[in-house]
Amino acid sequence: MRATGSVPVLLPPYYTNDGQMLVDGAILDNVPIRVMHELKSGPNVVISFEVPKLQRFEVDYQARCPTRAALLKAVINPFIRHTLPRAPGVGTVLMRSMMANRQGFERRLRSDDLLLVPPFPQDMGILDWHRHTELMDRTYRWGMREIARLMTEGHPVLAV
């Protein structure tokens, strides 16, 4: 869990006791179904948040593209930052890039795998790392209720 929050460039990596450096693998494999199947043939329970709807940005580069000097000045001086074109910051661009290969992972699930998609709080963004404990607790409680419900219903994956 700690490594998945270690977004390259934004947050420091996690180091294991034997010195391995771990970072979020989203850029390479956001939901590592293949690796999971290599470790355990199944049935497997996969928990993955739904990809949030992404905001679109209309940036008029022809009318408002700043020079390098103007850009540097605006980045340093918060009082003139409003003169820059409205566009996402570095963190948002990186997080969106990490979500790019997430689409379609469901097609790699096997028939005996169970996909759980916990609700993502509407008042929380993907860059709200300061709320990770809250998100983990909410997701854990939701997951336990959902698994109990599916077991009560006799879901075949959980009956094994």
**What pTM does this model have?**
0.58
User: H-type helices in the chain, by residue range?
Assistant: 26-29, 33-39, 61-64, 68-76, 90-99, 132-152
Predicted pLDDT of residue 141: 93
Instruction: Please name which of 3, 2, 10 lies closest in space to residue 92, comparing C-alpha atoms.
Output: 10
What is 40-64 written as a DSSP string?
--S--EEE-PPPPPPPP----HHHH
Ordered per-residue pLDDT tens for the chain, 160 residues: 566 667 677 777 888 888 888 777 666 677 778 888 888 887 888 888 776 566 677 766 666 677 788 878 887 888 877 777 667 777 677 666 666 666 677 888 888 888 888 888 888 876 677 888 888 899 899 999 999 999 888 887 776 5
Predicted pLDDT of residue 144: 92
Query: Given the structure tokens 């270690």, which residue do they identify?
Result: 6
